[in-house]
């Protein structure tokens, strides 16, 4: 359950935004961030920000993947979310982060000063609306995550795979950026249970596992039935 997180706080500032496909519609807060953001790079497992730190920046993933998490006093880690290319994270209405954020693999992100965004919002109703809408969508996401945690292991894993398949713009297989431990800590399971459930789904011909990180969704209907 517990995970060590060898940090390697290697963040280098680069510059200049670039075009990103925001087709999935994250409000257009993504667009706003693209216009104003500076590029930063983080090495695998580098901390992007820590729990209880002041929330100085808002982030959008350009390449790579990010996890947010909290460590409970007993050492258990709960992952709050995974953020992939195009996803925004780190927004806090109150000025403090309630989760930590780390790069799952070498990643680049756009950053915008939160204070700038907040000031803009106070002048521009459209920006204010984007902030609200984004936070509301985040709320929905967390509510969905919460609903996952009362389901069976099979259902959780199936839901996770379906979600990832949707978000990873996958062709005929998905390439997971995160480890089994990350998945376990996201789903509230142990790594062993996640692994066993995967093999079980493979046995039932719902998925195929060419390698541990590469997963073919073979029987979408069966997975959907579990996802329900």
Partner DNA sequence: CGACCATTTGATATGGATCAAGCGATGTGG
Partner DNA sequence: CCACATCGCTTGATCCATATCAAATGGTCG
Residues that bind a second copy in the complex, under the rule CB under 8 A: 70, 72-74, 76, 78, 80, 92-94, 98-99, 121-123, 125, 128-129, 131-133, 135-140, 142-143, 145-147, 149-151, 188, 228
Q: How far is the CB of 6 from a second copy (least distance, A)?
A: 23
The option from a second copy, DNA, none interacting with 192 (CB < 5 to 8 A, set by class) reads DNA
Closer residue to a second copy in complex, CB, 41/100: 100
Closer residue to a second copy in complex, CB, 38/71: 71
Query: How far is the C-alpha of 84 from the C-alpha of 20, rounded, in Å?
Result: 12
Q: How far is the CB of 75 from DNA (least distance, A)?
A: 10
Upper half-sphere CA count for residue 41 (Cβ side, 13 Å): 8
The option from DNA, a second copy, none interacting with 120 (CB < 5 to 8 A, set by class) reads none
Is residue 88 within 8 A of residue 27, CB to CB? The reply is no
- The residues binding DNA (CB under 7 A) are 1, 152-154, 179-181, 188-196, 198-199, 209, 211-213
The option from DNA, a second copy, none interacting with 209 (CB < 5 to 8 A, set by class) reads DNA
Query: How far is the C-alpha of 169 from the C-alpha of 127, rounded, in Å?
Result: 28
Here the tokens at position 174 are 């998905």
Closer residue to DNA in complex, CB, 135/154: 154
Closer residue to a second copy in complex, CB, 36/120: 120
Closer residue to DNA in complex, CB, 7/95: 7
Q: How far is the CB of 214 from DNA (least distance, A)?
A: 10
Closer residue to a second copy in complex, CB, 108/159: 159
Return the number of other C-beta atoms located less than 10 Å from residue 169's C-beta. Answer: 13
Upper half-sphere CA count for residue 208 (Cβ side, 13 Å): 5
Query: How far is the C-alpha of 170 from the C-alpha of 120, rounded, in Å?
Result: 36
Q: How far is the CB of 218 from DNA (least distance, A)?
A: 15
Is residue 215 within 8 A of residue 162, CB to CB? The reply is no
The option from DNA, a second copy, none interacting with 98 (CB < 5 to 8 A, set by class) reads a second copy
Q: How far is the CB of 173 from DNA (least distance, A)?
A: 14
Is residue 89 within 8 A of residue 66, CB to CB? The reply is yes
Q: How far is the CB of 90 from a second copy (least distance, A)?
A: 13
């Amino acid at each position: 359950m517990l995970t060590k997180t060898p940090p390697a706080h290697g963040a280098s500032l680069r510059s200049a935004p670039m075009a990103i496909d925001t087709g999935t519609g994250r409000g257009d807060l993504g667009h706003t961030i693209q216009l104003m953001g500076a590029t930063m790079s983080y090495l695998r497992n580098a901390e992007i920000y820590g729990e209880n730190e002041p929330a100085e920046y808002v982030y959008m993933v350009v390449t790579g993947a990010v996890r947010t998490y909290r460590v409970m006093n007993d050492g258990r880690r709960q992952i709050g979310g995974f953020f992939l290319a195009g996803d925004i994270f780190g927004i806090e209405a109150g000025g403090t982060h309630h989760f930590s954020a780390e790069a799952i693999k070498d990643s680049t992100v756009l950053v915008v000063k939160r204070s700038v965004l907040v000031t803009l919002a106070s002048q521009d109703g459209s920006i204010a609306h984007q902030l609200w809408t984004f936070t509301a969508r985040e709320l929905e996401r967390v509510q969905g995550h919460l609903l996952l945690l009362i389901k069976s292991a099979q259902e959780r894993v199936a839901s996770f795979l379906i979600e990832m398949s949707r978000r990873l713009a996958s062709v005929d297989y998905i390439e997971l950026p995160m480890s089994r431990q990350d998945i376990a800590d996201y789903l509230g399971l142990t790594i062993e249970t996640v692994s066993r459930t995967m093999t079980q789904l493979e046995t039932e011909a719902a998925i195929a596992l060419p390698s541990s990180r590469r997963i073919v969704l073979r029987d979408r209907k069966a997975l959907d039935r579990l996802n329900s």
